[in-house]
Amino acid sequence: MKVWLNGKMFDKTDACLSVFDHGTLYGDGIFEGIRIYNGRIFQCQNHIDRLFESARKIRLPIEQTKQEIVDAMYETIEANDISDGYIRLVVTRGAGTLGLNPFKCSRPGTFIIADSIVLYPPEMYDNGMAVIIAKTVRVSPDMLDPSIKCLNYLNNICAKIEAIDAGVAEAIMLNAEGNVAECTGDNIFIVTGGQVITPDTDSGILVGVTRGVVMRLAREMGLTVVERAVTPDELRSADECFLTGTAAEVIAVTKIDDAIVGDGKVGEITTKLLSAFREFTTSDQAEG
């Protein structure tokens, strides 16, 4: 595997960061996870714009222009001969001191990994998945702006550990008000009375790129899409529930804790949205 690091291509064993990098020491950095479909970067502009907006919010300079990063991603895809896969694009604060001061770091670092990814097994897309509601509460927007896709994922990891301990693949995280926020790595939707409902930005979510595409597709199908606070009881009583994410795409949830969602099978609307999403990934609009 080849990794792009600060303008050069390295074998993965030689692509190294300093132990003094603030991304390693303090999680001081940002990233994007991006899909590759048929050699094209999915929703490329949206991901790049979100990366630069995250950088702006934490005053992290990026040495490359947006176009230079796009070019570097395609260079990495070609170097690894990948047609369908996943990109991890990361910008760290760079090497600095053992203190927190980010402005003592010498220069930021950018690296790009392109590889294959399978988050959930194929049978889960056919049969749905079981999840739990985690006891770990999502970090409040008053503490950290959830629109910043930062390297510090410990809050999500603690909830993920709960899911693993429970023998399921994913955990739903509630916010401080007790309402649904998102999963450890995915956004969440329910279908109730024909309406597609998802937590709003006030619920403390990262606004996912795939989430936005699915909402658009749902509206094009004539469905009503609502963004608002969602309670755990609404989850359990929903007709359908599904998750969206870069790696997950669109996947049904058929069990939450001990509650069966709907009839326990992948719902009709979820099935249609997954089909529409997969068709969209092959269209001329996919790159965004």
Q: Which residues are catalytic?
A: 149
Residue with tokens 């996943």: 86
* Dihedral class, residue 183 (left if φ above 0, else alpha if ψ from -120 to 50, else beta): beta
DSSP string, 246-284: TTTEEEEEEEETTEEPTTSS--HHHHHHHHHHHHHTTST
Are the C-beta atoms of 160 and 171 separated by less than 8 Å? yes
* First-to-final CA distance of the chain: 27
Element (H, E) at 173: strand 170-174
90: its two tokens: 């990361």
